[in-house]
Structure 1
Amino acid sequence: MDHRTDQWFKSSYSGGSGTECVEVADLAATVGVRDSTRPQGPHISVSLVAWAGFIAGMGVRR
């Protein structure tokens, strides 16, 4: 799996401080979620359906 930095992005709601943020990435068939302070650390992958449900539950428009 490719974990290049340019594939990951922070939410516009992160406040711009650059710390303690969650980043997400489109990893083809899944969505990756990781801690922005540990870009080389572990991440979780969730299905596109699960991610869409999470976003819908948060009331965020994509």
Structure 2
Amino acid sequence: MKSDDDDFEDDFPDGVYAVPPSPGEPKIKVRKLSDYCKARGIKPSDLSEDELKQFLSEGYVNK
């Protein structure tokens, strides 16, 4: 007997499940953010707003 989880996972054979951002939401360079934080031994939540700006994709304007 298959569980609901098995049915769900069958729809994502490569194991990737992502939700697209809402219009106007910033796009974050996640890998660069992760590398930056790991190198400094900090969590993303510990970054200042100015530090976070370097990980926003080009063209994003905070409204």
- Report the structure, 1 or 2, having the larger strand content: 1
TM-score relative to the length of structure 2: 0.26
Computing the radius of gyration from Cα coordinates, the structure with the larger value is: 2
- Report the structure, 1 or 2, having the larger helix content: 2
